[in-house]
Amino acid sequence: MKYNEVYENWLGNKYFDDFTKAELINIKDDEKEIEDRFYKDLEFGTAGLRGIIAAGTNRMNIYTVRRATFGLARYILKNVENAAKRGVVIAHDNRHKSREFCLETAKTLAACDIKAYIFEDLRTTPELSFAVRSLNCAAGVVITASHNPSEYNGYKVYGEDGAQFMPKYADMITEEVNSVEDYNIIPEYTDEKSNLIEILTDKQDRDFIETIKNMTVRQDVIDEVGKDFKIIYTPLCGTGSRVVKAVLNEVGFENVEIVPEEEKPDPDFAGIEYPNPEEKKALNRGIELARKRGADLLIATDPDCDRVGVAVKDVNGDYKLLTGNQIGGLLVQYVIESRKEKGILKDNSAIIKSIVTSEFGADIARKNGVEVINVLTGFKFIGDKIKSFEEGVDKEYIFGYEESYGYLPGTHVRDKDGVSTSLLIAEMAAYYNKNGISLYEALQNTYKKYGYYIEENVSMTLKGKDGLEKIQRIINKFRYENTIEGLDIKEKLDFAKGVEEYPKANVLKYIFEDGDWLAIRPSGTEPKLKFYFAVSDCTEEKATEKLEKIKKVVLNIRESVK
């Protein structure tokens, strides 16, 4: 049906409640808004469903949540052994409607005779991944829009291995969801099904926390300096507050202070427009508090606590936000060197990173005899590699990460984990502090040893149907031109056409003669087109000069597309 026909169907269908219909009647004279809400269904991207909270097929609401859940239910009943009894575990963050969407998910599963586990209140995304495996569930769901603005919410789906579904299986779920053309066929929950919904006890929390506490490598360093090492932490009004502070305190970091305005869950994020630890503005309060306290380290996690940002003192005593690539490179080096020190770095050790992540950490790994494996963007691909290691591939996973502030130092979960990463970052910073240098100085020393690596991501937001069409026009402009005037291209990789063993994806990557590179891809979770620039050289000045040259050429081409 055309979008206006779908709109009229929602108005006339008895399945939809009066509140929803009243909202839709209010936009009856806004043709553009009706089109944007109904021209398509929300699609699974790199992290499942994500959209603005409102009525419509292209929005997050109780009906699109039920439809997605019914599709998931049909998928697991057909494809996962003993799925109904094993059940699905559901978590949610602090966003608007998150608890409501969580309960709708549980009720729809119960209506399909599938066991549903829910937490008593909000929980982090990594704990959801942990719970899927610890409870031996058939699948997991977390209601979150990660670091998106407050008007968004989302629905991330996890397989029985605790990782988000790989494209093949996500496509199968999508087929099941898309086959639900009439919402009236979704089974209706009744109180007789309430026995299929179980609220989890705090044992899950303790198991998760104890697992992470046991991941410290240099506990002796924490024992020595943890009492005085000053940490400011902000959960950005999200789910991380209780669990991150508990982990840090219980291993020995006693001097941890949470940014007071951002400690408690808030669906409006205390006025933070974009609660993303990549954004310096989101850390303004944390940096101000760090200045007042003279803190050694500022740690920030996003609302569902799977991403981590860091700010540290620079040589001038001010606080500098590290990039995801810088944090990743430092962590790779720390993990490798600490394992060497303990005599536990094996010959088959490997790190895993995404194709749009800098070579900074990768080159450190290679020069230390550790294999580097590249995967597509999306932590599901890292989780899938970990699974293959456990099922017979002769490699030992020691670390995985993406430039977008997502890291995983262990195999206890199969998604990026802001809790265990916060602990690892604090341990690393304490180690350097014990040795008389800051984390910023450690970064500069690493650059001097391995070369200067500079990266920059440039995103453009283009909302709605017209925006998506323009994003595709820009990608096509680059896709169908094999050269970029003024740049020495060694190799062009079009992942949409197929590259080696990688799944097909709408990503372009240009490798230049000197090893620098450019990548272009649309976001899987937001209406954005992303350009990734990565260069390296013997000095920071030379690297910066190269970066600016490439950016100027590429962004001029981007602006030429109408």
Pairing verdict, β 88-92 and 152-158: unpaired
Tokens standing for residue 196: 């299929």
**What pLDDT does 483 receive?**
83
**What pLDDT does 366 receive?**
98
Alpha-carbon 395 to chain mean position: 25
Question: Sign of torsion, CA 98 99 101 106?
Answer: positive
**Does residue 298 come out as left (phi exceeding 0), alpha (psi in the -120 to 50 range) or beta?**
beta
Q: Could you tell me the pTM of the whole model?
A: 0.94
Kindly name the residue from 98, 146, 150, 354 that is annotated as catalytic: 146
**Does residue 378 come out as left (phi exceeding 0), alpha (psi in the -120 to 50 range) or beta?**
left
Q: Do domains 208-450 and 452-560 have the same CATH topology?
A: no
Residue among 429, 422, 74 nearest 245 (CA) = 422
**What pLDDT does 268 receive?**
97
**What pLDDT does 46 receive?**
54
Rounded CA separation 407/324 (Å): 9
In this structure, what are the phi and psi dihedrals at residue 198, rounded to the nearest 5 degrees?
-120, 130
Instruction: Return the CATH number of 208-450, one of 3.30.1180.20, 3.30.110.60, 3.40.50.720, 3.40.120.10.
Output: 3.40.120.10
Q: Which residue's structure tokens are 């979150």?
A: 144
Q: Name the residue type at position 61.
A: N
Rounded CA separation 68/108 (Å): 10
Q: Name the residue type at position 77.
A: L
In this structure, what are the phi and psi dihedrals at residue 51, rounded to the nearest 5 degrees?
-170, 175
**DSSP E strand boundaries for 376-418:** 396-402, 406-408
Spatial contact of 530 and 558, defined as CB atoms under 8 Å apart: no
Tokens standing for residue 182: 């009439």
Residue among 246, 264, 258, 174 nearest 208 (CA) = 246
**What pLDDT does 452 receive?**
96
- Cα 261-277-371 angle, rounded to 5 deg: 145
**DSSP assignment string, 520-558:** EEE-SSSSEEEEEEEEEESSHHHHHHHHHHHHHHHHHHH
* Coil, helix or strand at residue 279: coil
Residue among 416, 379, 376 nearest 501 (CA) = 376
* Coil, helix or strand at residue 237: coil
- In angstroms, the first-to-last Cα distance of the chain is 29
**What pLDDT does 527 receive?**
84
Residue 354: CB atoms within 10 A of its CB come to: 21
Q: Which residues of the chain have pLDDT under 50?
A: none
**What pLDDT does 45 receive?**
56
**What pLDDT does 524 receive?**
74
- 155 class by beta-carbon count within 10 Å (0-12 exposed, 13-18 middle, 19+ buried): buried
* Coil, helix or strand at residue 168: helix
**What pLDDT does 48 receive?**
72
- Strands across the sheet containing 139-143: 49-52, 152-158, 139-143, 88-92, 116-118, 197-199
Which helix H or strand E contains 137, and what residues bound it?
none
Alpha-carbon 240 to chain mean position: 14
Spatial contact of 77 and 111, defined as CB atoms under 8 Å apart: no
**What pLDDT does 303 receive?**
97
Residues 21-38: b if buried by 16+ CB within 10 A, e if exposed? eebbeebeeeeebbbbbb
* Coil, helix or strand at residue 377: coil
Q: Topology of domain 452-560, per CATH? A: TATA-Binding Protein (3.30.310)
Residue among 237, 276, 212, 278 nearest 421 (CA) = 212
Rounded CA separation 118/92 (Å): 9
Contacts of 52 (CB under 8 A, 6+ apart): 59, 60, 151, 152
Residues constituting the chain: 562
Q: Name the residue type at position 533.
A: F
Domain positions in the chain are 40-200, 208-450, 452-560
- Strands across the sheet containing 396-402: 371-375, 349-354, 396-402, 406-408
| pLDDT, tens digit (0-9, with 9 covering 90-100), for 508-543 | 999 999 999 999 999 877 789 999 999 999 999 999
The CATH code belonging to domain 40-200 is 3.40.120.10
Alpha helices, DSSP H, located in 112-240: 125-134, 167-178, 203-213, 219-225
Instruction: Note if 134 is an active site residue.
Output: no
Q: In Å, how far are 126, 166, 283, 328 from 421, measured between CA atoms?
A: 11, 24, 18, 10
Q: In Å, how far are 206, 252, 357, 452, 543 from 538, measured between CA atoms?
A: 47, 39, 20, 6, 8
Q: In Å, how far are 100, 145, 319, 414, 441 from 154, measured between CA atoms?
A: 12, 5, 33, 19, 39
Q: Name the residue type at position 60.
A: M
